[in-house]
């Protein structure tokens, strides 16, 4: 299987990678839909992860939202793994034209990838909902930036300029995906000769539906478990994606 993937990579000129949570789990970033993620959300907050990171929950229960978000979705010590590094290398040598990711951790850029379409945004970018001021991740994680109008400690980060709430640039449930990001991803997919889908079971929509825009020659699926698209793929590898891409590229 690895030799077959190497042959595909050698022949390809415009590769696009579409990735999900499985790409980052090898960096120690757990999938919040995993058994542990579901258990923690139910046991600690008595709610599902999907409810916790919905826009209506953010709006109505902001302090609890940030408690959950900061303790379950932020992994500041995570580093790129072999999958991230291999994709950056493929881009560097002119083989890979774009990375399309459902992840919000910024690890692709940290590895060196330049053309990354972040379908669900990024924890690294944050902006004031009132005045639009921009803040990094360190800012919203610092407790001294999370004081209410009475000076009481909360989980909610506040803008130093106007006192507004600072919201992560992350697409929450009930929010629409960014049209510019979608347009760029669709354009990249439509021009690709090879699509590598990795670390995703392709069940999260509308993101997963984007792969229908791929009309190229080679569809490669790399995922630990089976997916609904396996029968359509030219090559299926049920192994950890870091191991696969690391072996074939690095």
Contact 116, 98 (CB under 8 A): yes
Same domain (yes/no): 18, 137:
no
List CB contacts of 234: < 8 A, sequence separation 6 or more.
8, 217, 218, 219, 220
| β-strand partners of 135 | 126
DSSP conformational letter for 26: T
% of the chain with per-residue pLDDT over 70: 97
Contact 70, 53 (CB under 8 A): no
Same domain (yes/no): 21, 39:
no
Q: What's the angle, vertex CA 237, arms to CA 233 and CA 241, rounded to 5?
A: 115
CATH of the domain at 206: 3.40.50.1220
| Residue 34 confidence (pLDDT) above 70 | no
- Residue 40: predicted pLDDT: 73
Same domain (yes/no): 115, 99:
yes
Same domain (yes/no): 226, 246:
yes
Instruction: Give tens-digit pLDDT for 1-13.
Output: 899 999 999 999 9
- Residue 38: predicted pLDDT: 59
61 catalytic? Reply is no
Active-site residue identified among 61, 84, 108, 120: 120
Same domain (yes/no): 200, 143:
no
Instruction: Give tens-digit pLDDT for 75-107.
Output: 999 999 999 999 999 999 999 999 999 999 999
- Domain range holding 202? 1-29+78-120+176-250
Same domain (yes/no): 189, 245:
yes
CATH of the domain at 139: 3.30.1600.10
Q: How confident is the model at residue 43 (pLDDT cuts 50, 70, 90)?
A: confident
Same domain (yes/no): 153, 250:
no
What is the number of structural domains in the chain? 3
Same domain (yes/no): 42, 69:
yes
Domain termination site, one of 40, 74, 108: 74
Same domain (yes/no): 83, 22:
yes
| β-strand partners of 19 | 101, 198
**More confident site: 79 or 38:** 79
Same domain (yes/no): 12, 43:
no
Same domain (yes/no): 14, 65:
no
Same domain (yes/no): 201, 215:
yes
Q: What is the pTM of this model?
A: 0.95
């Amino acid at each position: 299987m690895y030799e077959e993937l190497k042959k595909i990579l050698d022949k390809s000129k415009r590769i696009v990678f579409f990735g999900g949570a499985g790409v980052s789990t090898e960096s120690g970033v757990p999938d919040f839909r995993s058994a542990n993620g579901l258990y923690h959300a139910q046991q600690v907050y008595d709610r599902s992860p999907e409810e916790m990171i919905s826009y209506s929950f953010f709006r109505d229960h902001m302090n609890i939202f940030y408690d959950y978000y900061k303790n379950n979705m932020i992994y500041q010590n995570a580093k790129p793994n072999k999958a991230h590094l291999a994709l950056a290398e493929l881009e560097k040598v002119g083989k890979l034209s774009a990375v399309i990711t459902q992840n919000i951790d910024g690890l692709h850029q940290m590895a060196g990838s330049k053309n990354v379409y972040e379908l669900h945004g990024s924890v690294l970018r944050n902006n004031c909902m009132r005045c639009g001021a921009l803040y990094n991740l360190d800012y919203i994680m610092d407790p001294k930036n999370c004081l209410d109008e009475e000076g009481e400690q909360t989980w909610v980060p506040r803008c130093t300029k106007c006192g507004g709430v600072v919201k992560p640039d992350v697409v929450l449930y009930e929010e629409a995906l960014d049209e510019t990001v979608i347009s760029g991803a669709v354009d990249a997919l439509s021009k690709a000769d090879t699509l590598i889908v990795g670390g995703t079971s392709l069940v999260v929509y509308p993101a997963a539906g984007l792969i229908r825009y791929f009309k190229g020659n080679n569809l490669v699926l790399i995922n630990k478990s089976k997916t609904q698209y396996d029968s359509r793929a030219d090559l299926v590898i049920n192994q950890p994606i870091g191991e696969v891409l690391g072996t074939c590229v690095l």
